[in-house]
Amino acid sequence: MDITELTVHELQEKLKNKELTITEITKAYVNRIDKKEKDIQAFVTTLKDEALEEAKRIENEKTDGDFVGIPIGIKDNICTKGIKTTCSSRMLENFVSPYDATVIEKIKKENMINLGKLNMDEFAMGGSTEYSYFKKTRNPWNLNKVPGGSSGGSAAAVASRMVPWALGSDTGGSIRQPSSFCGVVGLKPTYGLISRYGLVAFASSLDQIGPITKDVYDSAMLLNIIAGYDKRDTTSSNVEKKDYTKALKNDVKGLKIGVPKEFFGEGINEEVKESLENAIKVYKELGAEVEEFSLDIAKYSLATYYIIACAEASSNLGRFDGIRYGYRAKEFKDLKDLYRKSRSEGFGPEVKRRIILGTYVLSSGYYDAYYKKAQQVRTLVMNEFNKAFQKYDVLLTPTSPTVAFDIGSKSNNPLEMYLADICTVSVNIAGLPGISIPCGVDKENMPIGMQLIGDKFQEEKILNAAYTFEQKIKFRENHRPDEKEEG
Amino acid sequence: MLRDEYETVIGLEVHAELSTKTKIFCSCPTSFGAAPNTHVCPICMAMPGTLPVLNEKVVEYAVKAGLATECTISQDSKNDRKNYFYPDLPKAYQISQYDKPLCEHGKIEIEPHTGKKTIGITRIHIEEDAGKLNHDDFGRGSLVDLNRAGVPLIEIVSEPDLRSSEEVDLYLRKLKSILEYIEVSDCKMQEGSLRADVNVSVRKKGESKLGTRTEMKNMNSFRSITRAIEYEIDRQIDVIENGGKVEQETLRWDEVSGKTFSMRDKEDAQDYRYFPDPDLVAIKLSDEYIENIRKTLPELPESRKQRYLTEYGLSEKDANIITSSKYLSDLFEEASKICKNPKAVNNWIISDISRILNETEMDPVEIPFDSKQLAKLVMLIDKGTISSSIAKKVLVEMFEHPRDPEDIIDEKGWVQISDEGAIREVVSKVLANNPQSIADYKAGKEKALGFLVGQAMKETRGKANPQMLNKMFKEELK
């Protein structure tokens, strides 16, 4: 038995039956990192020795709890006390947070073991993890392909079994799109379900932390751990605590699924389209009622998203000024020069592009035409989704119009890179929950992702729909990354 | 005079630090004077990933200030980000309020020598203070102290209704006293908890269009505000009279040279890129919430003044002085209650105490003794334990080395001599030494009696009971 093949709920079972020890599990993952990381490049910081020590400590203390000793990987924009949080940026290359993010506190409370901090596009801006200052993470299904982004390190680490599960963050698709590219399960919860305290802000009104896992059951479990109101984040919602695994009924009879036809139009890859059509067929066979409808407003989502996200980012990233922490230029003439050089040298090109765009749309004289207009469209998008959810329980779309693309093929074409977010951004704009699960592979054995969108705080519905589909097609049993060296 | 041909138009932006215990978006203390960077946390240092949580007390205090200045309180307000780079601003944006301030359309009454006048208040909004830069004495650059970053402020913006430095002075004093009465700010100008930016423009009398205004900053006393305004009015008139044009710019007042200097002109006018802060939810206030705060409002200076006129029979002038400061007003009422002699308390406050405050540039809040001690002083005179001239010395002592007046009198041996035998002895001695005065008095010169009493006081170093002296001299000279 290869321990790293197991899901977290399977690990729990083995721990409970004393078939495995915490140290054995941790060792298995450390060995796996030793073996795979040189190819995948998913980590910014690995915590191998620390993890093994932690495993020993926990074992000696004989602590009780469902997740004691379960390893996890953390996207490198979630603050961890005493461990570097770089956001994959030169700006924060040596930044060590003085405090833990709320989700990290929760994970520590469960006595889980942090295996390391995972690579990402710089400050979560990008869709391929190529904009990391440190390294390019590779897709475990094909090392010449990108893992997606911005949580590319998290998705690749889960897909290559270097961590059993991971936390990512999603501002416009950054959990779902890399999960789709890497053939794993990625959930972007409803805005406000998870505390953002300690998540380095990209776009405050859109950012949300979420789980990236091997299967839907693990997704529900990790959501159980991290969800909940936090008084330190006033945008978090005080909703009743739930056990999301209870929603996994393996039954979608009578479930009303809406398929917005705009998501299947121009630009969608034929194989992706076929795979999604097949998924629709599966749902119908399982007893769901599937109906096509029009979500016309969706076509404005991408523009709206880039205006709002960049506007907020331009302000959020102002604090990286070289004064208190982070990168400071070695030589400067005066204060302005200190700012200019530190930010010019500390930020990469995509971050600068978005800061400039965001600064522009907030400038006096342009505010009304861009930012204000975008906020108005945002309201319209929300209204359209509201209308759809009066009719449907769940909406079904592709996660991305394509499978993972070749490394280097889009990194010099920002607009084309932005288009990779076209299916995911409207979910963030409307603050809804969305999950990406694998629904098949293309001819080159690259995974294809399906996105299920729910109404606000209706994670249970999309989790159950995803779970039921997963139980039917058994993706993990039928498809796996092509690992020649393992025979 | 040239001045008479011009009209001055002034509007004020007053920043008052709120006296909440903790900062506006985190739980760090707001107290003044701590070692640099000790009242800080990840939130007010703007560490990556931190989020603000609005201190509800700040909203309450701002609403109080709004109600006390007859503002309309907005039930749907929000926080906005004002973006700019400066080392004392750790987030590179200040959380403030832009288009939906908490309070609007208020007013304050003032009484300049030209007669009663209403000054409009455009708005009152909440925002956070920035930190402080301490410039290194050894020329190695500047050091940032973030203790003040995140201390809550209200900005009170007046309409351009003010026409002279006198009106500005009265408006500011009134505003300060209101904020003190409702206990939302301690308004200590020296510590920077009350700061005013002054917008000044001049125009020829009869002109309907406003002149170009300049904004002056960096004044930290009433005196420097008056000086700065007077200087700036003259400067602007001078520019216009010499055929020039007043430039719209921000000026820094320099106390030492008594001049204003340009900080930045319109060319560098910053675009603050205001937008709603996505980290904070809208501020929604119910009618009930606002009404509950209204109920907690204390009696304001205007109403106290009216009461002093009727209840204590104070003159309008005295009542104005006493109610100008909540501290003086409380001192007056509490001391009067204890000693049952409001007239005497009033006299002490408006004469000796006010004089000492003026001379030492002390704020009434800083008076080192309390109402009980002042009442005791009055009672000691009323009982004849000390004379009023000794009492003046006791008061000075109470300012300099604060302690109970009885203790001062004991220590200094200032108890009044009321023993008949002792007084008679002094009277005899003085009479023996001043035969001329006796003759003068007998010749009808009443003044001579005063001289003799004065001599007796001198003899006893002011301790003799003056009434008894008077009586006894009269008896002896019959």
**Three-state SS annotation for chain A:** CCHHHCCHHHHHHHHHCCCCCHHHHHHHHHHHHHHHHHHHCCEEEECHHHHHHHHHHHHHHCCCCCCCCCEEEEECCECEECEECCCCCHHHCCCEECCCCHHHHHHHHCCCEEEEEECCCHHHCCCCCCCCCCCCCCECCECCECCCCCCHHHHHHHHCCCCCEEEEEECCCCCHHHHHHHCCEEEECCCCCECCCCECCCCCCCCEEEEEECCHHHHHHHHHHHECCCCCCCCCCCCCCCCHHHHCCCCCCCCEEEEEHHHHCCCCCHHHHHHHHHHHHHHHHCCCEEEEECCHHHHHHHHHHHHHHHHHHHHHHHHCCCCCCCCCCCCCCCHHHHHHHHHHHHCCHHHHHHHHHHHHHHCCCCCHHHHHHHHHHHHHHHHHHHHHHHHCCEEEEECCCCCCCECCCCCCCHHHHHHCCCCCHHHHHCCCCEEEEEEEECCCCCEEEEEEEECCCCHHHHHHHHHHHHHHHCHHHHCCCCCHHHC
Kindly list the domain boundaries of chain A, sorted by start residue. 3-261+388-486, 301-372
Which of A169, A319, A341, A360 would best serve as a mutation to test chain B binding (most B beta carbons within 10 A)? A319
Residues ≥6 apart with Cβ < 8 Å to B50: A99, A197, A198, B42, B43
Q: Per 3-state DSSP, what percentage of chain B is helix, strand, and coil (rounded to 5)?
A: 40, 20, 35
Bridge partner list, A436: A186, A451
Lookup result for tokens 């280097």: A408
Q: Is A18 a catalytic residue?
A: no
Round to whole Å and give the CA distance between A411 and A152: 14
> C-alpha angle with apex A402: A451 to A461, nearest 5 degrees?
5
At A29, phi and psi to the nearest 5?
-70, -40
The answer to whether A186 touches A427, Cβ cutoff 8 Å, is no
Contact A240, A117 (CB under 8 A): no
B contacts of A87 (beta carbons < 8 Å): 48
**Of A197, A311, A324, Cβ closest to residue B275:** A311
Q: Write out chain B residues lying below 8 Å of A99, CB-based.
A: 42, 47, 50
The DSSP element (H or E) to which B51 belongs, if any, is: none
In the structure encoding, which two tokens stand for residue B84, read together? 């700019």
Instruction: Using the predicted structure, report yes or no on whether residue A196 has a pLDDT greater than 80.
Output: yes
Nearest by CB to A198, from B49, B81, B274: name it: B49
Which residue of B37, B44, B50 is the best one to mutate when testing the A interface, meaning the one whose CB has the most A CBs within 10 A? B50
pLDDT above 70 covers a percentage of chain A that reads 99
Given the structure tokens 């490049």, which residue do they identify? A41
- How confident is the model over A250-289, as pLDDT tens digits? 999 999 999 999 999 878 999 999 999 999 999 999 999 9
Distance from CA of B35 to the nearest CA of A (A): 18
pTM assigned to the model: 0.89
Which string of DSSP letters, residue by residue, matches B315-356? -HHHHHHHHTSHHHHHHHHHHHHHHS-HHHHHHHIIIIIHHH
- A78 beta partners: A199
Q: Using alpha carbons only, what angle is made at residue A458 by residues A452 and A463, rounded to the nearest 5 degrees?
A: 50
Strands B117-128 and B103-110: antiparallel
Predicted confidence band of residue B266 (pLDDT cuts 50, 70, 90):
low
Q: What is the mean pLDDT of chain A?
A: 96
Query: B81 vs chain A: nearest CA distance in angstroms?
Result: 8
CA distance A84 to A323: 18
Tell me which of 3.40.50.2300, 3.90.1300.10, 3.40.50.970, 3.40.50.10420 is the CATH number of domain A3-261+388-486.
Answer: 3.90.1300.10
- A319: which residues sit within 8 A by CB, 6+ positions away? B46, B48, B90, B91, B92
For A164, what's the count of Cα atoms within 13 Å in the CB-facing half-sphere?
29
Quick one: which H or E segment has residue B407?
helix B405-412
B138 interfaces chain A, CB cutoff of 8 Å:
no
- The residues, any chain, with a CB within 8 Å of residue A101's CB and separated by 6 or more, are A78, A79, A80, A195, A197, A198, A199, B49
Q: Phi and psi dihedrals of A269, rounded to 5?
A: -70, 140
Catalytic (active site) residue A443: no
The hierarchical CATH code for the domain B420-477 is 1.10.10.410
Question: Does residue B324 or residue A222 have the better pLDDT?
Answer: A222
Which range among B64-78, B174-188, B421-435 shows the weakest confidence by mean pLDDT? B421-435
- Picking from A57-61, A77-81, B41-45, B432-436, which range would have the lowest pLDDT averaged per residue? B432-436
Measured distance CA(A455)–CA(B14) in Å, rounded:
47
Q: Are B89 and B113 in contact (CB under 8 A)?
A: no
Identify the band that residue A487 occupies on the pLDDT scale cut at 50, 70 and 90: very low
Nearest chain A CA: its distance from B80 CA (Å):
11
Give CA–CA dist A394/A247, Å, rounded. Answer: 14
Given pLDDT bands bounded at 50, 70 and 90, which one contains residue B103? very high
Catalytic member of A150, A154, A236, A411? A150
Which chain B positions have a beta carbon within 8 Å of A322's beta carbon?
A: none
Judge whether residue B1 has pLDDT over 80.
no
Q: For A85-89, A450-454, B104-108, B247-251, which range has the lowest pLDDT when averaged over its residues? A: B247-251
Considering only CB atoms, B42 lies closest to which of A98, A196, A339, namely A98
The residues near B232 (Cβ < 8 Å, ≥ 6 apart) are B198, B200, B214, B216, B251, B260
Q: How far is CA B211 from CA A347, B120, B457, in A?
A: 45, 20, 63
The least confident of A51-65, A120-134, B37-51, B149-163 is A51-65
d(CA A166, CA A112): 11
Of B53, B271, B281, the CB nearest to A231: B53
pLDDT band at residue A486 under the 50/70/90 scheme: very low
Strand B249-254 and strand B214-219: pairing?
Answer: parallel
Would the pLDDT of B265 be above 80? Answer: no
What confidence category does residue B269 fall into, taking pLDDT thresholds of 50, 70 and 90?
A: low
Question: ∠ at Cα B81 (B77, B84), nearest 5°?
Answer: 155
Each residue of B111-158: pLDDT tens digit? 899 999 999 999 999 999 999 998 877 667 889 999 999 999 999 999
Which of A321, A379, A429 would best serve as a mutation to test chain B binding (most B beta carbons within 10 A)?
A321
How does the average pLDDT of chain B come out, rounded? Answer: 91
pLDDT of residue A245: 98
A294 is catalytic: no
Residues of B in contact with A95 (CB under 8 A): 48
Q: Where are the beta strands (DSSP E) in B142-188?
A: 142-145, 152-158
Residue ranges covered by each domain of chain B: 2-289, 299-412, 420-477
Top-confidence residue, A173 or B416: A173
Among B47-51, B207-211, B380-384, which range has the highest average pLDDT?
B47-51
pLDDT at B221: 86
